[in-house]
Structure 1
């Protein structure tokens, strides 16, 4: 698995290990962390290899599955690392595909809903081609993933590689970086610190957020299938950004105000998946409700931040409430 020490990758490693699967995690730790895979490292079936996947890959022995997750994923990271983002979507994907082709393995690409850009179709189906600005500040991530999808399809058509493409919508949960700029960790940490919750733009733009365990189940369902994809993996329940900020503030028990900041360039105004294909081909749909998922995330971040960083005004509910 490339990018296995990242947010999604580390959860995926854990689930594969729980099946008794041997996992080789390839990561340069540019946005991932050894801390994310500390528990995995205690399992003799797990091996972390610190390497750059934009260089040719070599893995000894048989390989049944190659999962390509390596990429900066938050706008803060991919705008800080634009060239690295393009290279891992291009050369990194190429080398992961070469490894799969050489080993006769199934290949799964972790693509993104960002391939739809600021969509003119709602909800977004896999047949929609997207509305992407190829030269805007988000382009390095969007176009890297679009290129990776095209390359993956080329390997299937020309080399017969057994490939699958997952288009992952906003996922959240434990192990997200508190300062990576993405919506859920930003709101949670601001509320826990009794700081104003900063909503970009009007806050009326919508998102659908999927708890990490559901996203991982979807990726594994795709890996276990022969579906070519692309397949949307996300939660079809849509909420405005302001609604999500208000819900997080309520669950934390914070009195923090909600402030507006300047909206991001090319920020999608509506984002919600049609998951019909995932249901029909993979038998998958999300199981964790929004309040439950947010509570799990809030409790994890509260533990990470420590009691001394949370305001006395914060009144966290119990995890089962």
Structure 2
């Protein structure tokens, strides 16, 4: 049954007219199984059956209530009985709740699709901003950011070491290795070197102590370069700084120092590891060969026994033979060793 059980025997008086021009007449309104039954109040003869599912309220919220069997002009029923009006509206609400709503399902589908798309956009956008900023950033700006990162490193390590002869030796080492804009020696143990944006290199003083050869310092830089595994230093920095910093760079071309604060400490806390896979080791040894630097001195600086660095010793591209040219002349190497004195 369509009607709610509590309204099966509900009846109420009403005023009904068959056409807009007809006189209104008194009727009795009652519920049928699926319809509203309109009967003559004297003879009880049924005058009309209106489908409850199609019933239309012409004046919502107003009393007396006016109902019609459809949206089309024609029959009309006026009811003043509050209980009957409430019953009709409850039954209609029940029918509406059980009726299929394709449009609503479509809206839900569109909303769901939109939510998924928005979620995907939120996941994709930060990475896309970082990628775009890292790709379009000009070389001078990269180098500027590298020097800002170096300044942040100095907060943890102390100011970079300088001397007239030592600075000239660092310039010679940068030229010797290629792809390096600036090398700074920090008075702190870094466990090697750190490659900063723009070709700026931070070299720990520990690379100048130990074996009496500049190949150790050069090797530390080559290993740090190889450890980037294809990710440009500026991309690594922007990934750390976040999408906000990348967006600011794209829009204004500038980056406040506060966006860099803390990155230096993060670099110090992240050690540079030797490659583990054979293909990576081969690539590192190829870099030593291209740079004209022997890998054995660096290997023994890491492990004097040589046991954990056999691949760098046994496959040294210049094993048993001198490199094409010294990494640094003796005088420059001595000046570099004393740069922090």
Instruction: Compare the two structures and name the one with the higher helix fraction.
Output: 2
Higher relative contact order (CA 8 A, sep 6+): 1
Determine if the TM-score, normalized by the shorter chain, exceeds 0.5. Answer: no
TM-score by length of 2: 0.23
Whichever of the two has the greater Rg, that structure is: 2
